[in-house]
Structure 1
Amino acid sequence: MTTDGLRLHPFRGLRYATDRVSSLTAVTSPPYDVVVRPDGVRHLETADPYNIVRLILPQAPDPATRHLQAAETLRRWRAQGVLATDDRPALYVYEQSKGGLLQRGLIGALELNGPVLPHEDVIPEVVEDRAALMREAAANFEPLLLSYVGQGTGNGATGVIERTVLTTPLLATTTEDGFSHRLWAVTDPGELATVNEDLALRHALIADGHHRWATYQRLHQEHSGNGAASPWASGLVLLVDSARHPLQVRAIHRVLPHLPLDDALAGLGGAFRARPVEGPLDTALAELAETPGSAFLLASGPERFCLLDRPDPDLLDRTIRRDRPEAWRELDATVLHSVLLDEVWRVRDHPSEISYLHRAGDAVEQAAKHGGTAVLLRPVPEQTVRQLALKGVTMPRKSTSFGPKPATGLVLRVLDEEA
């Protein structure tokens, strides 16, 4: 059951003590599912002994040990004063900027029974892993990215944000990707009431973080006996008014580590037309973008690219389910999973068989490293995503990558502070 609107609660943020770490830049991380493993994990671990990656992607031989290790690390860092809890509950204004790109939103604890629209399916194994980690640590380590269509003016929640950014921030840093980040705390009762009144009229779209949202919901069910006031009844999110700050939408690419490119091409059997295209990667991606209809770019490394297009209409008709809107049936991700992965190549949608990477270059690099195939996709327009979500239709898992994504490590939420 859902409430009529969104309810975003203040919380006492857990933040790094700047005098205990080399820099905020050195302890932050991209979201857990953007970090390329294991190379990216090692890079972040060596940036600073207190890098947040040790909490979101702990390294140990088995899952139970990993999750216990993260919880123990969190307790130790808090005891040592590396992470300290803010004195007062707050909503946090968060700003990201790079060049001409500017995004601002509110970080808070969002009630899980509000009108939040998912647009992608999830992978059960990933939800189970995230749930075990959050359950053991009793913490939300990184905010989801949610968008809502607000007034797009200086009124309501957006007005609160734009008044707040005129004051001195709690922190400011620039991460490796060139993005500048600033954070403010909003504690004034009047400003909080303005946010609450505005968001009570809104619904949100999950832009990034479907697995963490599903994790929040699972953990809430486990703690349902604690009532609506339970800290498990809400989850850490970043809410962005897309009328004011439109999100960017990018594709999420696939790597099939056990399917060499030659085998992938040999197995097509006329299902698609296949033809080599010239590199480098940006040139090949540009050709993919200009190709009409369903199309994919395959790569085995930075020197070899092949474009798939013109799928067999009879094969599409036979393999793609008919009980969905035409916009869903024509999605590249739908065609990829229903036709190529399930029917042609017979690749299971399991973490051991498919990796999902947000950057095309990372996908190509991983395919070359494992002797497999990278399948590169095109982004889906945000309007298509929202229209399907409003109809209650979910897209194939990992269909989109909205951004810019919040950096992980600037503010955490610990549930034992609210119990």
Structure 2
Amino acid sequence: MNYAGPAEETPARSGLELTPFRGLRYDPDRVGSLAAVTSPPYDVVVRPDGLHHLESADPYNIVRLILPQDTTPTARNQQAADTLSRWLSEGVLAADSQPALYVYEQRDGAGLLQRGIIGALRLSEPSDGVVLPHEDVMPHVIADRAALMRATSANLEPLLLTYRGNGSGVGAASVVERTAQRPPLLSTTTEDGFSHRLWAVTEPADLAEIQTDLLHHQALIADGHHRWATYLRLRAEHPSPSPWDYGLVLLVDTARYPLRVRAIHRLLHGLPVADALAALADTFRVRHLDVPLPEALDALAAAASEGNAFLLAGDGAFHLVDRPSPDLLARTIPGGRPEAWRTLDATVLHATLLDHVWGIPEDSPAHIAYIHDTAATVDKAVRDGGTAVLMHPVHEEVVRDLARQGVTMPRKSTSFGPKPASGLVLRALAL
């Protein structure tokens, strides 16, 4: 990889600098199937059930690198490093012959189509206004991801970033669409019904067209705040220029391919539903719903259209919690923030319910888990005797507006998707 890539020729860097790299990819002749070695991003895998399922899908599943299992953090990270080294020496993973940007396509059976570009992005600080975070992060997760990246010297899965193109079909968009008409490097369909295709862009003219276009854009972090913060930490540890000045990302133009925004739910360990409800006293309205999950979510959506609302579960029923006391909110919601932030469901959940009503530390895995799958959150609450707090998704426009103001939302407030499958292309920093 050339650390003074083509975009470096522009004197003033004002936008996104995406650089080709030699992607690490599975040799399809060495694995059961490409679908069997992929995984959702590390923080979407439901543990332990989903982890065990992926480990048993194929001995070379990428989950063995992104979520290694051992008795201590040091042992886990060393295991990942040893596994990656072994797979490289055995030819299970191999580097492409020349640096490339990669066009990546995801398609489901319901008409959703998403295309983007995977590359090594030059890192920038939030103050630069080039890459905009919108969520707070947890220090222990950053420390965990940083230790794994140090041990493996690799970016094992891309972040998901979005930008707004001009919709004219020129520049990067033109290269993406032209490339997608060619035979792909790989094509596979994962068990969630999504088909995945990947192409390499290596022609100098195409690379220059993409890079020149992206220099005029900023990006929003849609998924991967902790990995972005990890990239920044590791860059600070290494003298520049170095491979650590860049991080693996997928860039999607949402003017052409709008993302879906979903909620991330909470599982409160050790807090039975009865206790959670009792603590609310007269500060929230509580309605008990004896209905299936889809109908309960419909009720949540209707309540969320009028104000803050949450759905509690874990005791075999659903409990719709809404209409918080204005006095309680005034006492517990921090001031000095935009009204759009103060009225977020995630803000009320963290500042009012977790901090004040229930007294649960939001950054302690022993007390709280963040789960993307709705049904899995409810099932785990039932099995564990805890409380599932189901959230309604926030609108993308709210996320972007707050990010442009430099205001971060509470951690794990949103889930943009579809997320890139992990395992289709990796970046080794030594190449």
Q: TM-score range by the shorter chain?
A: over 0.9
Listed as ranges, the matches of 1:296-335 within 5 Å are 296-300=310-314, 303-335=316-348
Whether 1:269 and 2:284 are equivalent positions in the alignment is: no
Query: How many angstroms does 1:335 deviate by?
Result: 0.2
Distance in structure 1 (CA, Å) of the matches to 2:366 and 2:102: 38
Letter in 2 for 1:184: W
1:393 paired residue among 396, 407, 413: 407
3-state secondary structure, aligned to 2:430: helix
2:233 paired residue among 214, 218, 221: 218
Aligned equivalent of 1:166: 181
Aligned equivalent of 2:381: 367
**Does the aligned pair in 2 maintain the 1:253–1:356 contact within 8 Å?**
yes
**Superposed CA RMSD:** 0.9
Aligned equivalent of 1:132: 147
Letter in 1 for 2:342: R
- Gaps spanning 5+ residues in structure 1: where? none
Query: How many angstroms does 1:153 deviate by?
Result: 3.0
**Does the aligned pair in 2 maintain the 1:208–1:402 contact within 8 Å?**
yes
Whether 1:92 and 2:102 are equivalent positions in the alignment is: yes
Letter in 2 for 1:6: L
Could you state the TM-score of these two structures normalised by the residue count of structure 2? 0.95
Query: How many angstroms does 1:257 deviate by?
Result: 1.4
Distance in structure 1 (CA, Å) of the matches to 2:406 and 2:209: 30
3-state secondary structure, aligned to 1:184: strand
Could you state the TM-score of these two structures normalised by the residue count of structure 1? 0.97
**Does the aligned pair in 2 maintain the 1:320–1:338 contact within 8 Å?**
yes
Moved more, 331-340 or 359-368: 359-368
Distance in structure 2 (CA, Å) of the matches to 1:196 and 1:310: 49
Listed as ranges, the matches of 1:96-175 within 5 Å are 96-98=106-108, 99-113=110-124, 115-175=130-190
Distance in structure 2 (CA, Å) of the matches to 1:63 and 1:416: 23
Aligned equivalent of 2:263: 251
Listed as ranges, the matches of 1:64-75 within 5 Å are 64-75=74-85
Q: Percent identity?
A: 65
Aligned equivalent of 1:59: 69
Query: How many angstroms does 1:359 deviate by?
Result: 1.2
Query: How many angstroms does 1:275 deviate by?
Result: 1.4
Distance in structure 2 (CA, Å) of the matches to 1:239 and 1:188: 19
Aligned equivalent of 1:196: 211
Aligned pairs, number:
412
Distance in structure 1 (CA, Å) of the matches to 2:78 and 2:419: 27
Distance in structure 1 (CA, Å) of the matches to 2:409 and 2:323: 22
Query: How many angstroms does 1:274 deviate by?
Result: 1.0
Letter in 1 for 2:393: P
Distance in structure 2 (CA, Å) of the matches to 1:117 and 1:30: 23
Query: How many angstroms does 1:287 deviate by?
Result: 0.2
1:43 paired residue among 50, 53, 57: 53
3-state secondary structure, aligned to 2:299: helix
2:361 paired residue among 348, 357, 368: 348
**Does the aligned pair in 2 maintain the 1:258–1:353 contact within 8 Å?**
yes
Aligned equivalent of 1:379: 393
3-state secondary structure, aligned to 2:102: strand
Query: How many angstroms does 1:403 deviate by?
Result: 0.3
